């Protein structure tokens, strides 16, 4: 039975990706612009209370959410907005943002913004994990104060700009700087700055406020033009947490969009935008295609500087708002080669453009690497001897690859891409993610049918270690990521429960809910929510399944403050049912002891049914019978700690062991005597015969003497 626990893996669908559906988990995809059309209410709603007005509603925490009253005006990327009433406050108005359960939310930003009024950011009133009837499961719901001025329309119906270009400094830049400074003090980044996520904070529309940034992976909903040249080639889910310089870059694109009245480069495809930004630089890419207002040229140029070290910061922005001159930012487009490098019929003139081309043409990239064409191009076309030397070193390592040539060739391509674009994402065949976005990328792949294999391939082949080696200087953030990565590589190499990709997932994404099929629908994010979810699952659990699978073991190991490595070690051998069952019961008991609840009758009965192997630890039949009789009684009380103590009572176990040793000694002694008796039988018979003969001879002699004596006496007398 224990072996079946190893097979309790999450059922990841291998089917084709479904079309996005508003009221279906996993249906929300990254969007470039918000739709102004009013979507219909979800027909899937099966639950909820009908309000006096006739609208279906559901009570979540201190709010009542109306499932029929969509507020498309306040949709924030893939998250949909619904009308909500605050049950504890009469003043003000609120709305609910329903997150996609197949995309992790941002734990740190939810904690930072909840209950805090910060100028430049709409107020996050509360957040709850609750059952959402249209989804038919639980998900994260965020409650915001409705901004009083509505959404910022980039251009009105009269083709008039929403905000006068001369007022952008005071109306937009000042409040947004306030948010970015507050986030920067905590080492956080917004990563959701864009025109479609901008609202007027007051009825007079004198200040703006940013919308939600916690309802999904960082940068997931950003149009590609809003992403820096370093992050734009990553998959949306893997764009990474980033930092304040990424937010300042997005602020520059936001100013450009508000100044020209539409999304910059909106007529180009994503690939064309990437090519243009890589060839000309971000500012020139936009300036060459759009007519920027004269007053915005200086701040947009400074904020869109592709070198983060040279990019404008708060001092430069304050100087621009005050009308003071700032140091002009020099053009920072990449060095172009005198001649192109051709790949798959396309010519490339810069190293980063070639890196992107190699990622898109993976197989075709191998030939020019192996024959030295790219190395020669780096030396002669760009005079970049450092990159050429690094590429030559990578080629030499290919010669030591051994039998696994195909894998080594893939690693060579991945390293070559990082040599040419060290600040960009880690790219390995179809995988493309920033190192600080690995967790979100893994979560997306697992929950959207791709599985963990792409992530595992990257980590097992140690590609991120090469990325760390290509970073220049010291950065505390890079150092922290490097330490985390060392743990990930260890986890992914372990095959037992509590490790593997599951441990990597929960270690890298703090707000990732547990994906065990037993509790996935309950959206368990905190360790305190795990046992109540298992209590629900226990009501329908089959008798031959264990309440801890790979996902739950990894979730406990990551979220629980206690060290459970000993239990995980015991779970490495499912064939040892005694130790395996004791380890599982021990982990669950620790969770209940730390986080409750006190009464878990369904789960206790489930565990009680599986305690038979653990009872075998006692040698005494009487003691086993006593323990077996106690188990149902304790199960009724719903206390896993008492159940565990019953089979793990050290005093009883020592006493049982002592009695067992004494019994074994007594048995051995008795068995030795029996053996002696059985083994010495013939000798004893011979001895008995000899003794008998001697006794008979003695007896006959004595009888003869007595007889002679008697006859002599009779003759005399």
| Residues 515-545 pLDDT 10s | 999 999 999 999 999 999 999 999 998 878 8
Mean of pLDDT over the chain: 87
| pLDDT, greater one: 661 or 102 | 102
Beta carbons of 139 and 101 less than 8 angstroms apart: yes
Which 3-state string (H, E, C) describes 530-561? Answer: HHHHHHHHHCCCCCCCCCCCHHHHHHHHHHCC
**Cα–Cα dist 96/142, whole Å:** 6
How would CATH label the architecture of 165-321? Orthogonal Bundle (1.10)
* pLDDT score for 158: 59
Beta carbons of 617 and 652 less than 8 angstroms apart: no
How do 341-343 and 346-348 pair as beta strands? Answer: antiparallel
| pLDDT, greater one: 584 or 684 | 584
| C-alpha distances out from residue 617 to 210, 568, 581, 614, 634, Å | 61, 19, 11, 6, 19
**Cα–Cα dist 708/298, whole Å:** 152
* pLDDT score for 661: 72
What are the structure tokens assigned to 331, written together? 């053009």
Beta carbons of 334 and 352 less than 8 angstroms apart: yes
What are the structure tokens assigned to 54, written together? 């006739």
With a cut of 80, say whether residue 482 has pLDDT above it: yes
User: Please, which residues have CB within 8 angstroms of residue 190's CB and are 6 or more apart in sequence?
Assistant: 109, 179, 180, 183, 210, 213, 247
**Cα–Cα dist 362/410, whole Å:** 8
Mean pLDDT over 215-234 rounds to: 97
pTM of the model: 0.86
Q: Output DSSP code: residue 354.
A: H
| pLDDT, greater one: 435 or 47 | 435
Biggest CA-to-CA distance, the chain: 170
| C-alpha distances out from residue 67 to 103, 625, 688, Å | 21, 56, 103
* pLDDT score for 156: 62
What are the structure tokens assigned to 664, written together? 């074994």
| Residues 28-62 pLDDT 10s | 555 544 433 433 333 333 456 665 555 799 999 99
Categorize the per-residue pLDDT at 11 as very low, low, confident or very high, splitting at 50, 70 and 90. Answer: very low
Secondary structure of the chain: what % helix, strand, coil (to 5)?
50, 10, 40
Which 3-state string (H, E, C) describes 218-287? Answer: CCCCCCHHHCCCCCCCCCHHHCCCCCHHHHHHHHHHHHHHHHHCCCCCCCCCHHHHHHHHHHHCHHHHHH
With a cut of 70, say whether residue 14 has pLDDT above it: no
- Give me the half-sphere count of Cα atoms (radius 13 Å) on the Cβ side of residue 505: 32
**Cα–Cα dist 3/220, whole Å:** 40
Phi and psi torsions of 86, nearest 5°: -85, 115
With a cut of 90, say whether residue 360 has pLDDT above it: yes
With a cut of 60, say whether residue 243 has pLDDT above it: yes
* 318 dihedral zone (left: phi>0; alpha: psi -120 to 50; beta): alpha
Q: Nearest 5°: CA angle at 373, between 370 and 379?
A: 120
Neighbours of 59 (CB within 10 A): 13
Please state at what angle helix 621-637 crosses helix 601-609, rounded to 10 degrees: 160
Nearest alpha-carbon partner for 492 in 548, 554, 546: 554
Mapped onto helix, strand or coil, the DSSP state of residue 169 is helix
Number of H helices, E strands in the chain: 28, 13
| Residues 81-93 pLDDT 10s | 999 999 987 766 8
**Cα–Cα dist 450/442, whole Å:** 9
With a cut of 80, say whether residue 341 has pLDDT above it: yes
Categorize the per-residue pLDDT at 326 as very low, low, confident or very high, splitting at 50, 70 and 90. Answer: confident
| Residues 129-147 pLDDT 10s | 999 999 999 999 999 999 9
- Provide DSSP, 432-495: EE-GGGHHHHHHHHHHTT--SHHHHHHHHTTHHHHHHHT--S--HHHHHHHHHHHHHHHHHH--
Beta carbons of 148 and 92 less than 8 angstroms apart: no
Q: Which residue has the tokens 């309440």?
A: 547
* pLDDT score for 346: 94
**Cα–Cα dist 438/457, whole Å:** 12
Categorize the per-residue pLDDT at 79 as very low, low, confident or very high, splitting at 50, 70 and 90. Answer: very high
| pLDDT, greater one: 645 or 551 | 551
Q: Output DSSP code: residue 161.
A: B
> Could you tell me what percent of the chain has a pLDDT over 70?
87
**Cα–Cα dist 646/623, whole Å:** 11
* pLDDT score for 699: 82
Task: Go through the chain and tell me how many residues it has.
Answer: 717
Nearest alpha-carbon partner for 68 in 85, 55, 86: 55
Beta carbons of 379 and 390 less than 8 angstroms apart: no
Nearest alpha-carbon partner for 183 in 205, 157, 210, 156: 210
510-515: long-range pairs with CB below 8 Å, 24+: 510/107, 510/108, 511/104, 511/105, 511/106, 511/107, 511/110, 511/140, 512/104, 512/439, 512/443, 513/101, 513/104, 514/551, 514/552, 514/555, 515/10, 515/446, 515/447, 515/551
Nearest alpha-carbon partner for 226 in 270, 162, 189, 287: 270
| Residues 199-214 pLDDT 10s | 999 999 999 999 999 9
**Cα–Cα dist 342/419, whole Å:** 18
| pLDDT, greater one: 652 or 42 | 652
What ranges do the domains of the chain cover?
Answer: 2-146, 165-321, 341-506, 516-648, 691-717
Name the superfamily (CATH) of residues 2-146: Phosphorylase Kinase; domain 1 (3.30.200.20)
- Provide DSSP, 47-103: --EEPTTS-EEEEETTEEEEEEEE-GGG-BTTBEEEEEEETT-SSS-EEEEEPPTTS
**Cα–Cα dist 433/441, whole Å:** 7
User: Please, which residues have CB within 8 angstroms of residue 384's CB and are 6 or more apart in sequence?
Assistant: 335, 351, 378
Mean pLDDT over 564-587 rounds to: 90
Mean pLDDT over 362-369 rounds to: 95
**Cα–Cα dist 326/317, whole Å:** 9
- Provide DSSP, 102-159: TS---HHHHHHHBT--BTTB--EEEEEEEEETTTTEEEEEEEEEPPTT-B--SB-TTS
CB-count burial class (<10 Å; 0-12, 13-18, 19+) for 179: buried
**Cα–Cα dist 348/356, whole Å:** 10
**Cα–Cα dist 574/398, whole Å:** 40
* pLDDT score for 375: 95
With a cut of 60, say whether residue 285 has pLDDT above it: yes
Mean pLDDT over 156-170 rounds to: 82
| Residues 608-630 pLDDT 10s | 988 887 787 777 777 788 888 88
With a cut of 60, say whether residue 23 has pLDDT above it: no
| pLDDT, greater one: 549 or 12 | 549
Categorize the per-residue pLDDT at 2 as very low, low, confident or very high, splitting at 50, 70 and 90. Answer: very low
Which 3-state string (H, E, C) describes 565-617? Answer: HHHHHHCCCCCCHHHHHHHHHHHHHHHHHHHCCCCCHHHHHHHHHCCHHHHCC
What are the structure tokens assigned to 431, written together? 């995988």
With a cut of 70, say whether residue 690 has pLDDT above it: yes
Nearest alpha-carbon partner for 590 in 527, 663, 540, 499: 527
């Amino acid at each position: 039975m224990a072996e079946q626990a190893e097979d309790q893996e999450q059922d990841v669908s291998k089917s084709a990706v479904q079309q996005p559906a508003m009221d279906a988990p996993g249906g929300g995809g990254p969007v470039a612009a918000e739709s102004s059309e009013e979507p219909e209410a979800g027909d899937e709603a099966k639950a909820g209370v009908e309000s006096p007005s006739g609208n279906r509603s559901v009570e979540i925490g201190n709010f009542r959410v109306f499932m029929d009253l969509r507020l498309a005006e306040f949709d924030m990327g893939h998250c949909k907005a619904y009308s909500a009433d605050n049950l504890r406050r009469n003043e003000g108005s609120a709305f609910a943002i329903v997150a996609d359960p197949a995309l992790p939310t941002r734990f740190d930003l939810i904690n930072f913004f909840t209950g805090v009024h910060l100028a430049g950011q709409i107020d996050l009133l509360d957040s709850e994990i609750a059952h959402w009837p249209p989804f038919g499961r639980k998900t994260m719901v965020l409650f915001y104060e409705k901004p009083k001025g509505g959404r910022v329309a980039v251009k009105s119906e009269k083709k008039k700009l929403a905000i006068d270009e001369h007022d952008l400094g005071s109306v937009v830049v000042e409040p947004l700087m306030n948010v970015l400074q507050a986030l920067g003090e905590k080492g956080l980044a917004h990563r959701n700055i864009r025109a479609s996520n901008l609202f007027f904070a007051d009825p007079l529309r004198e200040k703006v406020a940013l919308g939600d940034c916690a309802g999904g992976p960082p940068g997931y909903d950003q149009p590609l033009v809003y992403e820096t040249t370093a992050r734009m080639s990553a998959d949306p889910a893997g764009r990474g947490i980033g930092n304040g310089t990424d937010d300042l870059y997005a602020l520059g694109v936001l100013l450009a969009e508000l100044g020209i009245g539409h999304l910059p480069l909106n007529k180009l495809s994503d690939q064309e935008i990437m090519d243009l930004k890589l060839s000309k630089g971000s500012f020139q890419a936009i300036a060459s295609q759009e007519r920027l207002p004269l007053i915005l040229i200086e701040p947009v140029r400074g904020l869109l500087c592709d070198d983060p070290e040279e990019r404008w910061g708060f001092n430069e922005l304050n100087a621009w708002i005050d009308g003071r001159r700032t140091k002009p930012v020099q053009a920072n487009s990449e060095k172009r080669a005198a001649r192109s490098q051709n790949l798959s019929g396309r010519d490339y003139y810069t190293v980063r453009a070639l890196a992107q081309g190699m990622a898109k043409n993976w197989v075709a990239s191998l030939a020019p690497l192996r024959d030295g064409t790219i190395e020669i191009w780096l030396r002669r076309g760009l005079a970049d001897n450092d990159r050429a030397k690094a590429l030559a070193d990578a080629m030499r390592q290919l010669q030591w690859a051994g039998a696994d040539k195909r894998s080594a060739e893939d690693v060579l391509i991945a390293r070559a891409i990082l040599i040419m674009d060290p600040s960009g994402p880690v790219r390995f065949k179809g995988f493309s993610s920033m190192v600080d976005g690995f967790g979100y990328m893994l979560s997306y792949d697992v929950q959207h049918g791709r599985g963990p294999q792409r992530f595992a391939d990257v980590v097992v082949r140690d590609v991120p270690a090469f990325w760390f080696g290509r970073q220049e200087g010291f950065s505390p953030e890079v150092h922290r990521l490097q330490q985390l990565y060392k743990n990930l590589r260890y986890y992914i190499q372990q095959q037992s429960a509590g490790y593997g990709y599951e441990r990597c997932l929960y270690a890298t994404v703090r707000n990732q809910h547990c994906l065990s099929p037993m509790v996935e629908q309950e959206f368990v994010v905190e360790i305190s929510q795990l046992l109540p979810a298992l209590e629900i699952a226990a009501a329908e659990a089959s008798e031959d399944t264990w309440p801890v699978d790979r996902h739950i073991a990894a979730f406990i190991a990551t979220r629980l403050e206690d060290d459970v490595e000993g239990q995980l070690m015991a779970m490495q051998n499912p064939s040892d049912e005694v130790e395996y069952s004791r380890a599982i019961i021990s982990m669950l008991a620790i969770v209940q002891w730390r986080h409750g609840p006190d009464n878990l009758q369904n789960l206790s009965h489930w565990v009680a049914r599986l305690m038979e192997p653990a009872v075998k630890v006692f040698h005494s039949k009487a003691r086993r019978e006593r323990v077996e009789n106690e188990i149902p009684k304790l199960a009724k009380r719903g206390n896993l700690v008492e159940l565990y103590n019953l089979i793990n009572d050290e005093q009883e176990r020592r006493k049982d062991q002592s009695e067992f040793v004494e019994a074994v000694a007594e048995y051995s002694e008795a068995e030795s005597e029996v053996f002696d008796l059985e083994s010495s039988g013939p000798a004893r018979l011979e001895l008995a015969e000899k003794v008998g003969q001697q006794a008979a001879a003695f007896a006959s002699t004595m009888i003869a003497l007595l007889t002679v004596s008697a006859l002599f006496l009779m003759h005399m007398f």
